[in-house]
């Protein structure tokens, strides 16, 4: 059983993780802003992904393509024609519904009569340049993938890549969803972490299996409970007509199992479409084998916002400590928004404050560290526990004599005294090794 979403939403607001967008104006449907703590968390999620799929491999390149693209892209990709939802409107209350969400033929809100179904394209339309005519229409990209496909030859040739290799990209995408919801799970503006991996036809199935395994393990390695993660193969009626296979990595969210990432074997559909629509030959030529072909594509496509939400939910703990409730976000160190907080036991003692500030300043050069003296020590600990800070350093009266400070572990709440000049090295070691603070023997 995972935590209720309401608790996560309220913790996120209270601790500066996620705010409602343009809240002072009443917000705008399902649009959220990452606050000072949330921006660090999400950045850490994206960095962990980039590290694992770009830096730690020798067969991947990175890319950052623009959101606006030549509109022919969306003709070739099929989005203009078929990236649609069938919708119906209520004639009485004017509410709009996805046909899929309706049972029967009456409005679920007021029982009114419904209109005939119409297709509604999910792409956000916009205009390039000063004239709003048909010639200047383009779209906010509904996926980052197409920016990769249209750059396939550029990357392959300029980076002197041989098949198989892949291209990774993180970026914003936009879909005008009719029924968004569940906090940051489904939003109209969202960030994707996508890979297009190009392979020789015939080797695609093996490669697909490897990516499924690797992507599943990525979530486990970053701390998601195995019981909360599963793979779900798409039924043949869920598959896009060109896709050979697709599987979702699903997480057990408070509202039930839902998709974190989809891994698809897309065959040669994308590069073939772009070859045809652009008139450019996007074939790959294998010099050694004198072999020419359109590569097949394996696509692991993850949501950065969904992954961030899943890591948040999975890290959430409620404990009883001395009859008081303690809320902890037990992140892995690499995901923790703040790595260390330095807290003075007495904020009216200049020597203690100065020492604590100087420790924080020293740590800051290595990783995200903060100094905080805005409350009593008990409340300061609680605040850091609730945003998942793994290590708190406390400077007290005794520190002035013995030049040591206390390091407290978030999860075990164990404390150990460390010479002040050795604190940075100690914390760095703990961070790197996901180590618990242990009292000296």
110 binds Zn ion (CB under 5 A): yes
CA–CA distance, 374 with 385 (Å, rounded to integer):
16
Closest separation between CB of residue 97 and Zn ion, Å? Answer: 9
Residue with tokens 């003075």: 344
93 binds Zn ion (CB under 5 A): yes
Of 93-101, 142-150, 239-247, 253-261: span binding Zn ion (CB under 5 A): 93-101
Judged by CB under 5 A, the residue of 109, 291, 402, 434 near Zn ion is 109
Nearer to Zn ion, 16 or 112 (CB): 112
Of 86-94, 135-143, 173-181, 190-198: span binding Zn ion (CB under 5 A): 86-94
Of 109-117, 277-285, 316-324, 382-390: span binding Zn ion (CB under 5 A): 109-117
Of 60-68, 76-84, 103-111, 341-349: span binding Zn ion (CB under 5 A): 103-111
- Of 370, 369, 374, nearest in space to 347 by CA: 374
Nearer to Zn ion, 78 or 112 (CB): 112
CA–CA distance, 384 with 392 (Å, rounded to integer):
8
Rounded to whole angstroms, what are the CA distances from 373 to 38, 132, 392?
Answer: 22, 55, 12
Q: Write each residue from 43 to 82 as x if it is in contact with Zn ion (CB under 5 A), else as -, in one continuous string.
A: ----------------------------------------
113 binds Zn ion (CB under 5 A): no
CA–centroid distance for 52 within its chain: 14
Closest separation between CB of residue 96 and Zn ion, Å? Answer: 10
Judged by CB under 5 A, the residue of 71, 78, 86, 112 near Zn ion is 112
Closest separation between CB of residue 95 and Zn ion, Å? Answer: 5
90 binds Zn ion (CB under 5 A): yes
Residue with tokens 């605040």: 383
- Of 166, 162, 172, 161, nearest in space to 148 by CA: 166
**Residues β-bridged to residue 293:** 284
Closest separation between CB of residue 148 and Zn ion, Å? Answer: 42
436 binds Zn ion (CB under 5 A): no
Closest separation between CB of residue 80 and Zn ion, Å? Answer: 31
Cis, bond preceding 359 (omega within 30 deg of 0) = no
Residues 6+ apart with CB under 8 A from 38: 12, 16, 17, 18, 308, 337
Exposed e or buried b per residue across 97-113, where buried means at least 16 C-beta atoms within 10 angstroms of its C-beta: beeeebeeeebeeeeee
35 binds Zn ion (CB under 5 A): no
Going by the DSSP 8-state scheme, the letter that residue 54 receives in this structure is I
Of 87-95, 158-166, 301-309, 391-399: span binding Zn ion (CB under 5 A): 87-95
Of 91-99, 152-160, 210-218, 243-251: span binding Zn ion (CB under 5 A): 91-99
Q: Is 185 within 8 Å of 284 (Cβ atoms)?
A: no
Q: Is 299 within 8 Å of 211 (Cβ atoms)?
A: no
CA–CA distance, 70 with 79 (Å, rounded to integer):
13
Closest separation between CB of residue 108 and Zn ion, Å? Answer: 8
Judged by CB under 5 A, the residue of 107, 336, 352, 405 near Zn ion is 107
Nearer to Zn ion, 97 or 311 (CB): 97
Closest separation between CB of residue 32 and Zn ion, Å? Answer: 28
Closest separation between CB of residue 114 and Zn ion, Å? Answer: 8
CA–CA distance, 215 with 26 (Å, rounded to integer):
38
Residue with tokens 């890549």: 161
114 binds Zn ion (CB under 5 A): no
Nearer to Zn ion, 86 or 164 (CB): 86
Going by the DSSP 8-state scheme, the letter that residue 234 receives in this structure is P
CA–centroid distance for 5 within its chain: 17
Exposed e or buried b per residue across 131-154, where buried means at least 16 C-beta atoms within 10 angstroms of its C-beta: eeeeeeebbbbbbbbbbbbbbbbe
Closest separation between CB of residue 105 and Zn ion, Å? Answer: 12
Q: Write each residue from 126 to 165 as x if it is in contact with Zn ion (CB under 5 A), else as -, in one continuous string.
A: ----------------------------------------
Going by the DSSP 8-state scheme, the letter that residue 323 receives in this structure is T
Residues binding Zn ion (CB under 5 A): 90, 92-93, 107, 109-110, 112
């Amino acid at each position: 059983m995972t935590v209720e979403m309401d608790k996560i939403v309220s913790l996120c607001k209270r601790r500066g993780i996620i705010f409602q967008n343009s809240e002072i104006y009443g917000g705008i449907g399902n649009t959220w802003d990452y606050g000072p703590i949330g921006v660090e968390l999400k950045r850490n999620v994206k960095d962990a992904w980039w590290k694992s799929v770009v830096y730690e491999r020798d067969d991947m390149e990175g890319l950052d393509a623009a959101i606006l693209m030549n509109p022919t892209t969306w003709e070739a990709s099929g989005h203009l024609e078929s990236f649609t939802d069938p919708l119906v409107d209520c004639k009485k209350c004017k509410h709009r519904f996805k046909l899929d969400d309706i049972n029967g033929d009456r409005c679920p809100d007021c029982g009114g009569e419904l209109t005939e179904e119409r297709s509604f394209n999910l792409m956000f339309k916009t205009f390039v340049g000063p004239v709003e005519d048909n010639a200047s229409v383009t779209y906010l990209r509904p996926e980052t993938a197409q920016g990769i496909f249209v750059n396939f030859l550029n990357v392959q040739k300029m980076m002197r890549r041989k098949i198989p290799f892949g291209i990774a990209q993180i970026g914003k995408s936009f879909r005008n969803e009719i029924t968004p919801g569940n906090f940051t799970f489904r939003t109209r503006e969202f960030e994707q972490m996508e890979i297009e991996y190009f392979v020789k036809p015939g080797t695609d199935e093996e490669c697909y299996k490897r990516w499924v395994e690797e992507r599943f393990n990525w979530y486990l390695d970053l701390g998601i409970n195995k019981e909360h993660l599963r793979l779900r193969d798409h039924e043949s009626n869920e598959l896009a007509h060109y896709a050979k296979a697709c599987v979702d990595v699903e997480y057990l969210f408070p509202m039930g199992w839902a998709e974190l990432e989809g891994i698809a074997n897309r065959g040669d559909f994308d590069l073939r479409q772009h070859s045809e629509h652009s008139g450019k030959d996007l074939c790959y030529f294998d010099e050694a084998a004198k072999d020419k072909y359109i590569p097949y594509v394996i696509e692991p496509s993850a949501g950065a916002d969904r992954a961030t939400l899943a890591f948040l939910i999975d890290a959430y703990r409620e404990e009883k400590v001395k009859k008081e409730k303690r809320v902890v976000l037990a992140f892995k160190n690499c995901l923790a928004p703040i790595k260390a907080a330095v807290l003075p036991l007495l904020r009216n003692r200049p020597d203690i404050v100065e020492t604590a500030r100087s420790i924080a300043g020293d740590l800051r050069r290595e990783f995200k560290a903060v100094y905080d003296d805005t409350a009593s020590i008990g409340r300061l600990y609680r605040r850091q526990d609730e945003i998942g800070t793994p290590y708190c350093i406390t400077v007290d009266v005794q520190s002035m004599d013995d030049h040591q400070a206390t390091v407290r572990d978030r999860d075990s709440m164990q404390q150990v005294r460390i010479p002040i000049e050795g604190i940075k090295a100690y914390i760095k070691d703990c961070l790197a090794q996901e180590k618990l603070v242990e009292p000296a023997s």
